[in-house]
């Protein structure tokens, strides 16, 4: 339905007065207590970054114990340009025939066996091609794991005698070593008594969308139990010993999560409660009572699953459903709509990047292959062109999008990292009972975002908020929805302009609330940093030592702090943008009122 401007404005006067009566007190506070918040933001945020400045981080690293160096000799496990560190307790064993087993309590202290992984992968048919190798990361934000590894591409100089064909595949993983939740489920369905009871319990606890992850989790526990007899033993030996996701956060760390991140963390903790109970319902002779009762092992295995699996043919909003990680063909029956998740050893080591350098595909046999994106092919070609006089080849980290790139809290809670390069993030506006109309208006994590660089909001943020405001005027709410869905830009723009001030005020109040939450958390975190003490360490201790001590006590503290600062900076920019918009709308309303009075 399309309405004329004059007619629409005439009919909205009475309803607008009713809305303004609710919002005018807020506007009065804005006018009376108007301030330039930008200066405050700069000072406030910079005060948080003092302790984690580059100089202090470098000094802090110098306090760490000196690590032993070790070189590897596997063809595609890089040796010439990178070393990796291992702990002083590290064993000299590096193959799948290691005398230590995963059942040993000392396993958690052992370094990751990457050489054993490389040998095993090669024997299983994994192919790293075109200069691709495993590399130890030179630095990582996860200080609980000093042996963080990733996959990189070596770009040779232009005059190299072994040029790289960037259009070819980079990594090939045979289906035989891919952990497939659907195959695991089929095996349990026909061979494990109590499997159906476990499934009914998981669904009764509203975790039915995580059944695929549950089956992968059980499989990993089974492989752990088998120890050196497991086909995946070398892969297990190469996995991180600890993680930085919500499952590994202590009570102090969880207490510093903002409410939205905490709600996501509770879901992860819920899985850790439900999965072991479901497992006990399955009568599995292959799992000992020690495994069934081992909470730390359950937590570790669940972290392995959630940080290393990806969904296939999955359209669920809660999981990785971007095109790159959900190819259309994984070799299974296309009519089977059950959700499937995979863990592909070696492929699971690609780190996340919003602008990923690779994508993956499955062939009709279910084998997995990674290819470089075309835009990265062009960039890499330009890099090699400028390297004619370079002595050492350059390293290009390979990355994969983990999906949901607008949700930094998801990355922290699920994967244990913070991506401060995100340009757009979710505004965290939550509708209690979203309808199909809300969704059609754009109510979606990926669409309701703010720009972290300038604080601007997407049209979906404005329109979903206005649609909710207009619930008080059903007639105009319906008109706005109809106009939006039928691309009636005239009526849509009229209603947007008519209620721009009210919409801005509601959004500004939301930003105020978010900033207050984050400010309270950051102030408390700074207080803990100042008060960190143990033994002879007091409040007057050198801040570098205090930093070290606090990180030892709460390893994920500074990661959470980085997340909170990133959100604070983004929401502060949005608040500043809205402040400016409200000021403009107030001036416009004043002029309109003066014109009517005159």
Residues 360-382: tens digit of each pLDDT: 999 999 999 998 887 666 665 55
In-domain check, residue 309 = yes
Domain check: are 438 and 585 in the same one?
Answer: yes
In-domain check, residue 350 = no
Q: Which of 79-83, 262-266, 453-457, 588-592 has the lowest mean pLDDT?
A: 79-83
User: Would the pLDDT of 47 be above 60?
Assistant: no
- Rounded Cα distance between 21 and 18, Å, is 5
Domain check: are 444 and 590 in the same one?
Answer: yes
Domain check: are 448 and 590 in the same one?
Answer: yes
In-domain check, residue 424 = no
Residue of 142, 173, 559 whose CA lies nearest to 358: 173
Domain check: are 115 and 157 in the same one?
Answer: yes
Average pLDDT, the chain: 77
Query: CB of 128 within 8 A of CB of 345?
Result: no
Domain check: are 382 and 486 in the same one?
Answer: no
Domain check: are 331 and 265 in the same one?
Answer: yes
Most confident of 32-36, 307-311, 328-332, 448-452: 448-452
In-domain check, residue 360 = no
Domain check: are 167 and 255 in the same one?
Answer: no
Domain check: are 447 and 592 in the same one?
Answer: yes
Count how many domains the chain has. 3
Q: Which of 298, 328, 343 is the last residue of a domain?
A: 343
Domain check: are 389 and 452 in the same one?
Answer: no
In-domain check, residue 356 = no
In-domain check, residue 27 = no
Q: Which of 195-199, 216-220, 330-334 has the lowest mean pLDDT?
A: 330-334
User: Would the pLDDT of 102 be above 80?
Assistant: no
Strands 368-372 and 132-136: unpaired
Residue 284's domain spans which residues? 180-343
Instruction: Please give the DSSP secondary-structure letter assigned to residue 69.
Output: E
Domain check: are 446 and 396 in the same one?
Answer: no
Backbone angles phi, psi at 416, to 5 degrees: 85, 35
Domain check: are 219 and 335 in the same one?
Answer: yes
In-domain check, residue 423 = no
- Rounded Cα distance between 303 and 295, Å, is 12
Query: CB of 230 within 8 A of CB of 239?
Result: no
Query: CB of 118 within 8 A of CB of 74?
Result: yes
Strands 149-155 and 394-397: antiparallel
Domain check: are 130 and 197 in the same one?
Answer: no
In-domain check, residue 406 = no
């Amino acid at each position: 339905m399309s309405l004329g401007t004059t007619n629409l404005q005439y009919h909205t006067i009475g309803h607008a007065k009713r809305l303004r009566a609710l919002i005018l007190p807020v506007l009065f506070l804005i006018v009376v207590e108007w301030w330039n918040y930008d200066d405050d933001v700069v000072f406030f945020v910079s005060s948080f970054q003092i302790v984690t400045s580059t100089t202090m981080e470098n000094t802090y690293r110098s306090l760490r114990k000196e690590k032993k160096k070790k070189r590897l000799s596997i063809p595609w496990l890089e040796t010439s340009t990178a070393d990796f560190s291992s702990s002083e307790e590290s064993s000299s064993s590096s193959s799948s025939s290691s005398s230590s087993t995963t059942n040993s309590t000392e396993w958690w202290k052992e370094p990751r066996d990457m050489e054993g992984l490389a040998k095993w992968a090669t024997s299983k048919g994994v192919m790293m091609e075109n200069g691709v190798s495993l590399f130890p990361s030179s630095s990582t934000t996860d200080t609980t794991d000093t042996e963080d590894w990733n996959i990189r591409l070596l770009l040779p100089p232009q005059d190299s005698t072994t040029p790289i064909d960037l259009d070819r595949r980079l990594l090939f993983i045979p289906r035989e070593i891919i952990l497939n939740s659907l195959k695991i489920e089929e095996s349990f369905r026909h061979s494990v008594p109590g499997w159906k009871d476990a499934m009914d319990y998981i669904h009764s606890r509203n975790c039915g969308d995580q059944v695929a992850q549950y089956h992968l989790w059980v499989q990993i526990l089974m492989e752990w139990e088998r120890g050196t007899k497991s086909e995946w033993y070398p892969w297990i030996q190469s996995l991180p010993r600890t993680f930085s996701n919500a499952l590994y956060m202590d009570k102090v760390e969880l207490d510093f999560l903002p409410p939205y991140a905490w709600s996501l963390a509770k879901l992860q903790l819920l899985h850790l409660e439900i999965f072991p109970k479901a497992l006990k319902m399955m009568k599995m002779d292959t799992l000992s009572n020690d495994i069934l009762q081992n909470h730390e092992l359950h937590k570790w295995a669940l972290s392995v699953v959630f940080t290393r699996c990806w969904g296939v043919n999955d359209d669920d909003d809660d999981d990785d459903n971007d095109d790159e990680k959900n190819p259309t063909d994984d070799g299974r029956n296309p009519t089977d709509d059950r959700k499937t998740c995979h863990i592909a050893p070696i492929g699971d080591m690609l780190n996340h990047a919003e602008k990923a350098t690779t994508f993956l595909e499955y062939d009709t046999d279910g084998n997995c292959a990674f290819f470089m994106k075309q835009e990265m092919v062009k960039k890499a070609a330009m890099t090699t062109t400028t390297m004619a006089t370079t002595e050492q080849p350059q390293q290009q980290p390979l990355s994969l999008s983990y999906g949901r790139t607008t949700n930094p809290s998801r990355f922290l809670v699920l994967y244990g990292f913070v991506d401060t390069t995100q340009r757009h993030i979710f505004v965290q506006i939550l509708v209690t009972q979203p309808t199909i109309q809300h969704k059609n208006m754009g109510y979606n994590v990926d669409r309701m975002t703010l720009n972290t660089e300038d604080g601007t909001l997407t049209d979906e943020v404005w329109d979903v908020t206005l649609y909710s405001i207009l619930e008080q005027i059903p007639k105009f709410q319906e008109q706005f929805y109809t106009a939006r869905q039928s691309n009636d830009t005239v009526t849509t723009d009229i209603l947007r302009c008519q209620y721009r001030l009210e919409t801005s005020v509601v959004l500004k109040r939301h930003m105020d609330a978010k900033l207050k939450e984050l400010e309270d958390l950051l102030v408390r975190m700074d207080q803990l940093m100042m008060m960190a003490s143990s033994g002879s360490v007091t409040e007057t201790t050198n801040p570098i030592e205090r930093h070290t001590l606090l990180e030892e006590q709460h390893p994920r503290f500074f990661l959470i702090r980085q997340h909170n600062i990133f959100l604070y900076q983004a929401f502060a920019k949005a608040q500043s943008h809205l402040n400016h918009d409200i000021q403009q709308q107030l001036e416009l309303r004043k002029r309109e009122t003066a014109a009517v009075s005159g």
